[in-house]
Structure formats: C-alpha cells, structure tokens
Amino acid sequence: MLLSILIKPRVSEIGGWLLNQKISKIAIKPFIKANHIDMSQYEDVNYQSYNDFFMRRIKLGARPIDRKESHLIAPCDSKLTVYPIHEDSSFCIKDTYYTMEELFHSKKLAKAYEGGQLLLFRLTVDDYHRYCYVDEGVKSKNYRIQGFFHTVNPLANDVYPIYKENTREFSLLKSKNFGIVLMMEVGALLVGKIVNYHQEKNVVRGEEKGRFEFGGSTVILCVKKNQVVVDEQILENSRDGIETM
C-alpha cells in the first residue's frame, strides 16, 4: 500500500523539487565524505543545491578522449558488464530482467541485434553522471519509454514478485566505425531524470550527449554482430559475474 503511494509521479516530482532547493546543500559534504569522492577533478564552483552538485562537471581535460578510430570508448564512468545477444537472452538491469524486445519495446530492433553484444555501463552515486557519444556519426531522434511499478498481489502476506520498468530513453547512432549503435539511458525509479541534449544531429566522439539528475543510472550500448571485439578480460569478468571499472 505504501509502495502504491511512493511510486506516484507526483511523489517523484516532489522528491526532485526538494533536491533542487538550497536547503538540500546540507547533504553535499556528508555525501562526499561517505563516498570518498575526489573533488579536485571537478570544477570549483559553489553548488546551489544537492542536484546541482550531483550534476557537477569535470574539469576540462580530466577525461581525455581516446581519438583512435578503431577503439570503442566508454560513454561514461561506470562498472561494465557485457552480454551476448541471442533470441532468448535476458538481461538484469536495475533488478529487473528484460529481453531485448521488452527493453526496447521493438521486435524489429531485437531481431536486428541478434548475434551482437549488449554493453551495460552501471553508474553508482559516486560516478560522474554525464555521458558522451562513443563515435562520430549521425544520431536519430530520441525514443522515450515511460517506466512503471506495481506489485502482483499487494494485499497478500508475500508481496513479491514486484514488477517494474524504469523510465528509459534510446536512440540510434549511425557511427563511422562501429555500424549502427543502439544507445539507451536508464533512469532511477523515483527521482532519477534523463536529460538528453539533442534530437537528430551529426555528432563527434566524446561530445557530451546528456546527463542524469539524482539517482543511480545506467547507460546501455548494443552493437551488431561482428562490429566490435571486446577485450577478453572484460568478457571473462562478465562471464564470472564481475563488473569491470
């Protein structure tokens, strides 16, 4: 019953509003200390709210971009897991299992990426919450999928299973070096917000694509068959259930 109230859009809006108020600044210093964040790599500014701090910018040059065209770069600071994409594949994303079709709400896209790979970049609260394009190319418009949350039987003694889908947004990048890359951002269930800056656009490698406002977040890249060779150590870690920083 409590969950049914907490997941209302209005509650999420109030949470986001509170994090944008000046009073929320009192949470910044304890958060930095608890998560051992090195603030020397970020711009030296006076943050006006907790969300202002959460969206902090890195200093110019602190994240140099690998310009070698044959190298696929990471879109963000994160913990990486790589999965093969098969017809019957399912992926655990923010504690929910999705097939490709469920994740993108598209049979066509699911079929197109069979035999390829899904790269899951999981951001935690201490990570830099801005993300970039991984290659030069032409970006499509953004497709938004609104999340939802419900319990199957909320009045039973056991309320599990709880089914949820997080809000997410995806686009296609017709890249110069890696084929058509499917890019998705996944927001937090309650107060997380995805802010993408562009619709259809010519983009360059390392250009900032967007940012997340408060909440744990995830960036997903899907590449088609034979387009990318992932480092064997990353693949071995992924098979063993270990994320690669």
Please give the DSSP secondary-structure letter assigned to residue 4. H
Inter-residue contact 152 to 180 (CB < 8 Å):
no
CA torsion sign, 11 to 50 to 125 to 169? positive
Asked about 77 being catalytic, the answer comes back as yes
Catalytic residue among 12, 171, 217, 238: 217
Query: Hey, what are 9's tokens?
Result: 């859009």
137 membership: H or E segment, kind and range:
strand 137-139
Write the DSSP string, 57-107.
PBPTTSSPPP--TTPPPPSSS-EEEEEE--TT--EEETTEEE-HHHHHT-H
Report the sign of the C-alpha dihedral through residues 151, 153, 155, 158, in that order: negative
Question: Which residue of the set 77, 90, 126, 140 is catalytic?
Answer: 77
Q: Count Cβ neighbours within 10 Å for each residue of 153-176 and write b for 16 or more, e otherwise.
A: eeeeeeeeeeebbbbbbbbbbebe
β 143-145/168-175 pair status:
antiparallel
Catalytic residues: 77, 217
